[in-house]
Amino acid sequence: MTTVDTGDAVQRGSGAMGAPVLQVSDAVVQFKGRRALGKRSVVRALDGVSLTLPRGATLGIVGESGSGKSTLARSIVGLEKLQSGSITVAGEGEARGRQVQMIFQDSLNSLNPQRSIGSTLAEPLMIHQLRPRNQVRERVAELLDTVGLSPDLASRRPLQLSGGQRQRVNIARALATEPKIIIADEPTSALDVSLRGQILNLLRRLQREQDLSYIFISHDLGLVGQISDLVGVMYLGRIVEIADRADIYRRPQHPYTRALLGSAATPDPRRGRVAPIPGEPPSPADPPPGCHFHPRCPLAQPSCKVGDVMLEPAGPRHQVACPVVLHPVARSATSLTDAGISSGRGSAPGI
């Protein structure tokens, strides 16, 4: 089990973030895996995740492919059922479907190609009875304007728009229910760099204007550093480190976070992306016992292979799931540097 409590009021730059708007407690999500030797394996995509999202804040979630980022997002919006644990949105009263909205990476597949943009944006207004029928058209125009699109686009279909315009429509659709929380799962990965900046600026402006809280998922550590107040690092279904943005980029503690930040400093020239961490992530259908990272961790000790590894405080609003780093007496004489882990220290953009 991992436990994260970012506190009731979290400092954000010069100001304070609000009370929790979302609480995820010990969430477990399992999928049926492949059948082998007559037995079907179980993929534990979320393995006891707990986190708190303060109102008005952005929590960035990073981690390698398959670490459970999208499963976390989908379970928060109610698209995946929890095997155990709970997810609570503050100030209930409204259905979660209205309070929490999601923006996906693939702007085209997220929209029904047969429907006009206007009809797509009108749908949530009708389902949740947010406007009388005779005001729906006006509200659709207002939503388009809010995301920087001309109301004339209401009559178009998704294929008649650019990728950037489509992602703005997806944001407008998310805003239609007047949510408290928006979960953005790789929302800019399919866009080129200039459009990416525009979408980030739009999300920032909307957060200020509409008091939104975000969970922002990305492979791109630089991007997460630009937009997040808090950053959580996932590995094989667990959060292994979570902290204020500045703290995690300047003082990463968990060997996986350090490796991730170290690899981000050396982009893979073949793909123009972050170079992978040495070693393959193990299969979530057969995770290593103890600390899941131990087969790839240069600091691993025999004790890392047994028992549960819990998140523990490593400073104000900083939690780490690595007893070896947190309690140096339990550690071998090998230092992080001796073990060949890049410190990964640096600054997130803008800090």
Tell me which residues touch ligand SF4 (CB under 6 A): 254-255, 291, 293-294, 297, 299-300, 304, 309, 322-325
188 is a site residue for Mg ion (CB under 5 A): no
213 binds, among Mg ion, ligand SF4, ligand ATP, none (CB under 5 to 8 A by kind): none
Binding mask 260-289 for ligand ATP (x = CB under 6 A): ------------------------x-----
> With respect to ligand ATP, which residue has the nearer C-beta, 25 or 67?
67
Q: Is 70 in the site for Mg ion (CB under 5 A)?
A: yes
Least separation in angstroms between residue 95's CB and Mg ion is 25
**What is the footprint of ligand ATP within residues 226-265 (CB under 6 A)?**
none
154 sits in the region (left: phi over 0; alpha: psi -120 to 50; else beta) called alpha
Distance CA 288, CA 152 (A): 55
| DSSP per-residue string spanning 127-176 | HTT-S-GGGHHHHHHHHHHHTT--GGGGGS-GGGS-HHHHHHHHHHHHHT
- In the bound complex, what is the minimum distance in angstroms from residue 336's beta carbon to ligand SF4? 10
- Give whichever of 90 and 285 is closer to ligand ATP, judged by the CB atom: 285
CA atoms in the 13 A half-sphere facing the CB of 313: 6
Query: Could you say which of ligand SF4, ligand ATP, Mg ion, none residue 322 binds, taking C-beta under 5 to 8 angstroms by partner kind?
Result: ligand SF4
101 near Mg ion, rule: CB under 5 A: no
Q: Choosing among ligand ATP, Mg ion, ligand SF4, none, which partner's interface includes residue 21 (Cβ < 5 to 8 Å by kind)?
A: none
Pairing state between β 238-244 and 318-320: antiparallel
Contacts (CB under 6 A) with ligand ATP, residues 62-121: 63, 65-71
Residues contacting 247, CB < 8 A, separation 6+? 315, 317, 318
**Pairing, β 15-16 against β 11-12:** antiparallel
State the binding partner of 66 from Mg ion, ligand ATP, ligand SF4, none, CB within 5 to 8 A by kind: ligand ATP
Site pattern 208..227 for Mg ion (x: CB under 5 A): --------------------
End-to-end CA distance of the chain: 32
Q: Which is nearer to ligand ATP, 43 or 223 (CB)?
A: 43
CA atoms of 126 and 304, how far apart (whole Å): 53
Q: Which residue in 161, 166, 175, 189 sits closest to 105, CA to CA?
A: 189
Give the type of residue at 113. P
Looking at beta carbons only, is 294 or 318 nearer to ligand SF4? 294
- Tokens (6 digits) for 334: 């090998």
CA distance 180 to 160: 30
In angstroms, give the least distance from the CB of 185 to Mg ion. Answer: 6
The binding site for ligand ATP (CB under 6 A) comprises 31, 43, 45, 63, 65-71, 284
Interface ranges with Mg ion (CB under 5 A): 69-70
